[in-house]
Chains A and B, each alone.
Chain A
Amino acid sequence: MTVTDRPATDTRQVGQPVLEASGVTMRFGGLLAVNDVDLTVREGEIVGLIGPNGAGKTTFFNCLTGLYKPTGGVVRFAGTPRKPESAKRQVSEAEDAVAVQPLEALTPLPPKPRAVVRAGMARTFQNIRLFANMTALENVMVGRYCRTSSGALTSILRGPKFRKEEAATRERAQELLDFVGLGRSTEHLARNMPYGDQRRLEIARALATDPKLILLDEPTAGMNPLETKQASDLIFKIRDSGLSVVVIEHDMRFIFNLCDRVLCLVRGEALIEGTPAEVQSDPRVIEAYIGTGEDDEDEPQDTVTEEETR
């Protein structure tokens, strides 16, 4: 019943779009952070989002997930922000794999984080934003919030429905912790966990919302080569269980190994979209990265060498 049970490739149906963002534009006053960017993500696909610092990658993520209200464009998603179903249904669902229900038709998403999560798009943050003083297990259980329904009165009365839902939530959270390899540290406070574990915990928390599409914002920032390898294994594992993944990353070797398609943003605009090989060899991408150095606006940790971009 874990996410890993799903065979690696044969059930993957790359083809149907999960997310279709068209003409997304975000303007902060006079600053055009994201300008008319299109992105289509298909089921079971890993899409990379690269670009120099300040290119608008995270802003684009925020527009997709409703943290920002885009000034232009529309985000359409294969799923509606549905209400959580009854506890009974939850239990049977929890025994299934992560997502993989037949896709619904694409509908426009309202720019509200809750609605976006309910529709089935979850994310992690560039600078880790865990609930620092909750345990790992509790962090993941919070992720189940939008898929459960017991209210205050139910929680006080504690009927069988509540117990069932609570047990299912706990079980599911434990399962996801096992999935990302944190099954042994469920009772550790998030803030006391090692950096790499915090990243993985954030992914587990996002997975707990039963997403169809997961957006990872620099999942390997600050990691050593071994941890980076583990992270890419984990992302493959997530993809193999039927989810689509969009990942922002600066580590070019990582991204070109991982992704089916890569979109390169420069100064808020889509420079090129294509297979890793195409993007890798595009002279404009190399120029944008090595370029003039003007692009270093707010993210100081960017260290992409010439060697990596080749």
Chain B
Amino acid sequence: MSDVKTSPAAEPQTAQPPVRPIAWPAGVAGVVLVIAGSFLSWSYDGSILNDLSIDFYPGGLQILAIIAAVLALVLLLAERGPLTAMGTWLDATLGLRALGAGLTLYMALIVVAISVESDGLINVNPGAYVSLAGAALILACAWMLPLRQLRDLSKARLPAWSEILAIAVMMAAVLFGAAYALGLTDAWSFILCLLFFATVIVALVRTGVITWFGHVGQRHKKVLTLAAFVVAFFFPFTQGGSDANMSIATQVLIFAATAIGLNIVVGLAGLLDLGYIAFLGSGAYVAAMLSESAFATIDWHPPFPVVVLIGACVAATLGLIIGSPTLRVSGDYLAIVTLGFGEIFRLAMFNLDGINGPLLTNGPNGIPGIPELQIGGFNFGDEHTVAGLELGRFSNYYFLLLILIAFVILVFARLNESRIGRGWVAIREDEKAAEAMGVNVFGLKVLAFAIGAFLAGLAGTIKAHQDAAVSPDQYIFLESAFLLAAVVLGGMGTIAGVLLGATILKLLPEKLRFFSEYRLMLFGLLLVLMMRFRPEGLVASRRRQLEFHEEDEELAVAVEEERLIVEEAK
């Protein structure tokens, strides 16, 4: 970043700690200690945490510690050394503090994990203590290092090829990290791995790398989107034919696609819908009833693309039916009505069993035995081998769902940046004013409901085949609540945020089985903490960021400049 024009320095940081000359060498020493410790044995017992017991043959968790230490070294070198040019842009000290704290916690947790898993502190070998001491040293020295005055990161420019390279590297890291984390089978390793990722991400956020990456992403939006899809596309190939993780991944995708549909209703149009799962359910039921299952109740089995359309249209029609009369109420009242609608759907599916009503759904038994999808000559149940890599049944569904989610994202993004999307947001902001400006308030609300329901119905038809069965108890209120939680947790009105929220809410309970009993409590806690500390969600749109941090004049100016740059580029 040395070839960049100079720009006015940011405002001086307040509260400088006293500068201690020993801090920097001590930090380097800490890095050396962590790395050295990681090459030594951490645990006497080789059977736990994927074997950390052999000297000079670091196991996975030890390699993570080494990676963190190398990152710390890079930050130290940005502070003083060959990378100082980078240090004028990035807040190395803040990053180092986060990294030091995270690494210390990581090492402490490793000591705890070893002593819990192998019954006693005695089984912790000196290597772990060496690394722990090193981590603590990094943390201590980071607090003694001075904070620097930084230049405005939004003005940082690298040659386009290297920015694109940065995107590629970041995406490769995501792919590799996801594959590694999902490959971990025991809960301790998984938690430690999550802690490592959290530490690295927080450190990158603190240094400003993520901010810079955000600017890069803005400049190369298409490259970023494409890269994300390429990574998602290659994910099944990292699983070596195993279906365990792919099953979770398909569930995440269905959940995410539905949540993005809900995001139109809640995030854009501002209509609180607590019965949204019913639309996913209606799509799934339509697909089940029209499938070749022995329990299917309709004796007509059109090809799948037709079923998809019918399912989505039925869901959209339900959306219209529920929407037109109830959208006259708003806010809390609408939430209650939609909550009721969700329950009506579930109970209707429960009772359309041929006794209480017409035979459509087999009541509580649902429709089991839905055969694998068959599109053209391609059977989704078959295993395939591509370039020597095995792809199982779930991988097939995964690819189909990838296409689905691409479509859903496309619909969301394009509507968001259009006349329709602006109308929705205007309604969300001030219905009366929107009406007085000539916005078709009622029509747009119904449209939001219908499009959201359409997308959910689409996902539902695939879900029916992937689950091989539908039953009423899959579509309970709790699922609607989780969808809403994914939207709120990730960031209302954003795509990346909802994807992240959906991944967190679906992945964690699957990987941490012991966690599933407490998941409601923990998610509740998580949401409360989010509302307190980051109300705009994990990934906030620039707009939402301004909304919750309105005193931030610099942010407004930055957004303005970014827009001008984009327009110049055109």
Contact = CB atoms under 8 A, between A and B. Distances in A.
B434 interface: yes
Interface of B is mostly: helix
Given A133-B543, A189-B550, A189-B556, A209 B438 contact: yes
Contacts of A165: 419
A182 to B, nearest CB: 12
Interface in B532-550: 543-544, 546-547, 550
A147 to B, nearest CB: 8
Interface string B233-249: 00000000000000000
Nearest to A152: B420
A145 B419 contact: yes
B433 A65 contact: no
A132 B420 CA distance: 18
B513 interface: no
B438 A152 contact: no
B50 to A, nearest CB: 47
Interface in B420-475: 420-423, 425-426, 429-430, 432-440, 447, 451
B3 interface: no
A151 B414 CA distance: 12
B560 interface: yes
Residue among A117, A131, A166 with the highest chain B CB neighbour number at 10 A: A131
A138 B484 CA distance: 27
A88 interface: no
A187 B433 CA distance: 20
A78 interface: no
Given A114-B440, A133-B429, A143-B437, A138 B422 contact: yes
Given A158-B414, A192-B550, A114 B430 contact: no
B85 to A, nearest CB: 31
Interface in B142-188: none
Interface stretch (A5-13, A51-59, A122-130, A221-229): A122-130
A230 interface: no
10 contacts: A114-B439, A117-B437, A122-B437, A125-B436, A150-B420, A152-B415, A152-B420, A155-B419, A169-B419, A189-B547
B410 interface: yes
Contact of A145 (B414, B429, B439, B563): B439
A131 B414 contact: no
Nearest to B551: A192
Contact of A152 (B429, B435, B436, B447): B447
Interface residues of A, number: 44
Given A155-B419, A169-B419, A142 B437 contact: yes
A145 B437 contact: yes
Nearest to B440: A114
Residue among A113, A117, A148, A188 with the highest chain B CB neighbour number at 10 A: A113
A141 B411 contact: no
A148 B421 CA distance: 13
B436 A148 contact: no
A134 B439 contact: no
Interface in A212-240: none
Interface string A180-192: 0000011111011
**Which 4 residue pairs of A and B lie closest in terms of their CB atoms, listed nearest first?**
A146-B438, A117-B438, A155-B418, A131-B429
A252 to B, nearest CB: 27
B546 A189 contact: yes
A40 to B, nearest CB: 23
Given A131-B430, A152-B420, A156-B411, A191 B550 contact: yes
A148 B437 CA distance: 13
Interface in A142-174: 142-146, 148, 150-152, 155-156, 158, 162, 165-166, 169
A155 B438 contact: no
B223 interface: no
Contacts of B563: 186-187
A250 interface: no
Contact of A142 (B411, B439, B447, B451): B439
B559 interface: yes
Interface size of B as a range: 20 to 34
Residue among B422, B544, B547 with the highest chain A CB neighbour number at 10 A: B422
A130 B437 contact: no
Contacts of B429: 130-134
B436 A123 contact: yes
Given A191-B550, A192-B556, A209-B437, A129 B432 contact: yes
Interface of A: 65, 67, 113-114, 117-118, 122-123, 125, 129-135, 138, 141-146, 148, 150-152, 155-156, 158, 162, 165-166, 169, 185-189, 191-192, 205-206, 209
Given A134-B429, A143-B438, A192-B546, 14 more contacts: A114-B438, A117-B437, A131-B433, A133-B546, A133-B547, A134-B425, A142-B437, A145-B437, A155-B420, A156-B411, A166-B418, A187-B556, A189-B550, A189-B556
A192 B554 CA distance: 12
Contacts of B556: 187-189, 192
Contacts of B421: 155
Contacts of A156: 410-411, 414-415
A148 B447 CA distance: 17
A81 to B, nearest CB: 10
A65 B436 CA distance: 8
B421 to A, nearest CB: 8
A162 B418 contact: yes
Nearest to A205: B437
A140 to B, nearest CB: 10
B550 A138 contact: no
Contacts of B425: 131, 133-134, 138
Interface in B344-382: none
Contacts of A209: 437-438
Contacts of B432: 67, 129
A150 B418 contact: yes
Contacts of A150: 418-420
A290 B437 CA distance: 36
Contact of B419 (A123, A148, A185): A148
B268 to A, nearest CB: 12
B543 A189 contact: yes
Residue among B418, B434, B436 with the highest chain A CB neighbour number at 10 A: B436
B426 A142 contact: yes
Contacts of A166: 418-419
B560 A134 contact: no
Contacts of B439: 114, 142, 145-146
Residue among B418, B421, B563 with the highest chain A CB neighbour number at 10 A: B418
B436 A67 contact: yes
B436 A113 contact: yes
Contacts of B434: 131, 142
Contacts of A134: 422, 425-426, 429, 543
A141 B336 CA distance: 33
A91 to B, nearest CB: 15
Given A117-B438, A138-B425, A169-B419, A125 B560 contact: no
